[in-house]
Amino acid sequence: MNKKNVLVLCTGNSCRSQIAHGWLNYFTGGTAHIYSAGIETHGVNPKAIATMAEAGVDISQHTSNLVVEYNAVDFDFIITVCDHAAENCPVIPSKKAVRLHHNFSDPSKIDGSEAEIKEAFRATRETIKNYCQAFVKEQLSSG
């Protein structure tokens, strides 16, 4: 069976798309090729790395990539994780890609105490986890 190519797209490929990338890798266990990118690059958010590490998922080696770096990849699924990316998504040359969208809250935009920010990252992590788990079960499971 051919591995599916999945792209997670966000504005800056810093936080939400990185968290989703980590969960999709985790839930597919290497049975799919997971990519994440942004329409800009902001670097991987250290709080996203720390939040995922708390859940036992290491995204510390991820890089922040521009979507154009993957022009040669024929994607099966493109998941936009913020409204800005969905509205400003460049045309991705993929004939068969199923496009999905879910606007996850951006914990990097939270103003508050360190504890409040940490809680916002955890809440977003769990919401994205549930979405990714359902996506893998519904779209990528062969059973």
Domain ranges of the chain: 4-140
- Longest pairwise C-alpha distance within the chain: 48
Give 28-57 pLDDT, tens digit per residue. Answer: 999 999 999 998 898 999 999 999 999 999
The whole-number pLDDT of residue 91 equals 64
Name the region of 105 (left: φ>0; alpha: ψ -120 to 50; beta: rest). beta
What single-letter amino acid sits at 18?
Q
Q: Where are the beta strands (DSSP E) in the chain?
A: 4-10, 32-38, 77-80, 98-101
Residues designated catalytic: 10, 82, 89
Name which of 61, 47, 57 is nearest 22 in CA terms: 57
| Of the options 3.40.50.2300, 2.40.30.10, 3.30.930.10, 3.30.70.1050, the CATH number for the domain spanning 4-140 | 3.40.50.2300
C-beta of residue 74 within 8 angstroms of C-beta of residue 95: yes
pLDDT of 58-99, one tens digit each?
999 999 999 999 989 999 999 999 888 778 766 666 678 899
Q: For residue 88, what pLDDT is reported?
A: 75
Q: How confident is the model at residue 113 (pLDDT cuts 50, 70, 90)?
A: very high
